[in-house]
Copies of this chain bind each other. A is one copy, B any other.
């Protein structure tokens, strides 16, 4: 069920540390950045960082790819879009009035 998947993704982002990691990666764009660089940027103990990254990867929000010595992490932007759409779609499907005027 889709709700499960999206909830898992939102849950993954629903932690200040992970949200900071994710944002850092969002800034890094398609190229992404190596784990070590994230660690230095945010000053998170390596073991803690791995734990959180696994969470984000498990939710398919982030992917990893090795480049020699380093492991590059990057955001899965498609999934991000899908997740956001899920929240917005069917807005006011039952009662349509002034909501979401943006």
> B-contacting residues of A (Cβ < 8 Å)?
1, 3-4, 6-16, 18-20, 22-23, 26-31, 75, 77, 80-81, 84, 87-88, 90-100, 102
Across the interface, do B95 and A81 meet the contact criterion of CB distance under 8 Å? no
Which of B8, B16, B92, B102 has a CB less than 8 Å from the CB of A26?
A: B92
This chain: copies in complex: 2
- Contact across chains for B97 and A29 when beta carbons are under 8 A apart: yes
Q: A19-B3, A20-B3, A84-B84 are in contact. Are A27 and B90 (CB under 8 A)?
A: yes
Q: Are B102 and A27 in contact (CB under 8 A)?
A: no
The complex places the Cα of A102 from the Cα of B77 at a distance, in Å, of 10
Instruction: Give, as a whole number of angstroms, the nearest-CB distance from A12 to chain B.
Output: 7
